[in-house]
Structure 1
Amino acid sequence: MKLFRLAKEKPGKYRADDLSGNGAALAGGRWNPRGMAALYTCCHASTAVLEARVHASGLLPVANFFLVTLQVPEDIFSTAYVPELPTDWDALDRDPVSTVDIARSWLNAGKQLAMCVPSVVCPSDNNLILNPSHPDMRLVGVFDKQPFLLDRRLFV
């Protein structure tokens, strides 16, 4: 099975195909507390584009983006943790404490490779958050990495 990420690359600093989850650990996010590694992925390439767009603060990014396609175990959905969503899971003005707490517990438990959650920008699509510390992370690999230009019309 394949998952997708739209990621930036800065030569000498970070690579788009880095699977460590360190970027999320530095910033924290809706589904991970600052200081805990997590790898955000999308089930569709188009959802990865939407996710990148909403995190661009309205400005056309000039960064070197790559569409990274990951090969993951076929049973990733059937074994994924699916949390009960709190009422504020899709808050737009902040990363809810409730979702960060869910992720902290899930990451600390270390039982599943993936947590399946809906995308805030397209709730009918799923995102899979991967736990880079899980032993099955060794089964996740980069299938493809292609330069990707964000369409300027997304920013008008």
Structure 2
Amino acid sequence: MIIYRISNSLYSDDITGTGAKLTGSRWNSKGFPMLYTAEHISLAVLEMLVHTNFKDYSINLDLLTIQLPQQALQSNIDVKKLKKDWTKDINYSRFIGDEFIKDKQNLVLRVPSAVIEDENNYLVNPLHPDFKKVKIIETRSFKPDERFFSIK
């Protein structure tokens, strides 16, 4: 399976979930490493745009194409089984993600995007034994279209 990630160029070679571990995010609490990826490049762009402050448009970004092992164990979260307004309760989604990291049963957790819930993000567990098989197969410079920053 191929998944995508947009990252600050300074840290693009680190896919061990360090940033998420340091700050926490939608699906993990601070202290839990997690690699956030998307099923499509376009979703990776939208996720990046809603989570990044672009006052400094000169930030250098990379688009990572990541390959998961062919037999990667995966768990799925169906949006229909999440509580109503789940996107507004970060503690709820963090609990789900923290449990996924702690139990180490699956390498990947497929979750609905809070930006476009009909599309999916793939959370990768750096603590899973098969994480060593996760590979960056391409890294290329990524520059968002300037029109994203002129929306009024």
CA deviation after TM superposition for structure 1 residue 62, in Å: 2.2
Rounded to whole Å, the distance in 1 between the matches of 2:86 and 2:136 is: 29
Rounded to whole Å, the distance in 2 between the matches of 1:48 and 1:142 is: 15
Rounded to whole Å, the distance in 2 between the matches of 1:53 and 1:89 is: 20
Q: What do the CA deviations read for 1:12-60 (whole angstroms, capped 9, x no partner)?
A: xxx2121110000011011000011000000101110101111124646
Task: Give the AA of the match of 2:39.
Answer: C
Q: What do the CA deviations read for 1:101-122 (whole angstroms, capped 9, x no partner)?
A: 1111111111000111011112
Match of 1:114 in 2: 108
3-state secondary structure, aligned to 2:66: strand
Q: What do the CA deviations read for 1:52-105 (whole angstroms, capped 9, x no partner)?
A: 1111246463211000000112344xx3222342323222xxx61111111111
Rounded to whole Å, the distance in 1 between the matches of 2:27 and 2:14 is: 19
Rounded to whole Å, the distance in 2 between the matches of 1:100 and 1:120 is: 13
Rounded to whole Å, the distance in 1 between the matches of 2:70 and 2:14 is: 21
Unaligned stretches of 5+ residues in structure 1: none
3-state secondary structure, aligned to 2:75: coil
Match of 2:138 in 1: 144
Task: Give the AA of the match of 1:136.
Answer: D
Rounded to whole Å, the distance in 1 between the matches of 2:17 and 2:8 is: 13
Task: Give the AA of the match of 2:83.
Answer: P
The CA RMSD over aligned residues, in Å, is 1.6
Rounded to whole Å, the distance in 2 between the matches of 1:57 and 1:88 is: 25
Task: Give the AA of the match of 1:38.
Answer: M
More helix by share: 2
Unaligned stretches of 5+ residues in structure 2: none
Cα 1:117–1:80, aligned 2, differ >3 Å: closer, same or farther? same
Task: Give the AA of the match of 2:100.
Answer: W
Q: How many residues align?
A: 147
Q: Is the 8 A contact 1:4 1:45 kept in 2?
A: yes
Task: Give the AA of the match of 2:23.
Answer: A
Rounded to whole Å, the distance in 1 between the matches of 2:55 and 2:112 is: 25
Q: State how 1:4-153 maps to structure 2 within 5 Å.
A: 4-10=4-10, 15-57=11-53, 59=55, 61-76=57-72, 79-83=73-77, 84-91=81-88, 96-153=90-147
- Overall identity of the aligned pairs, in %: 35
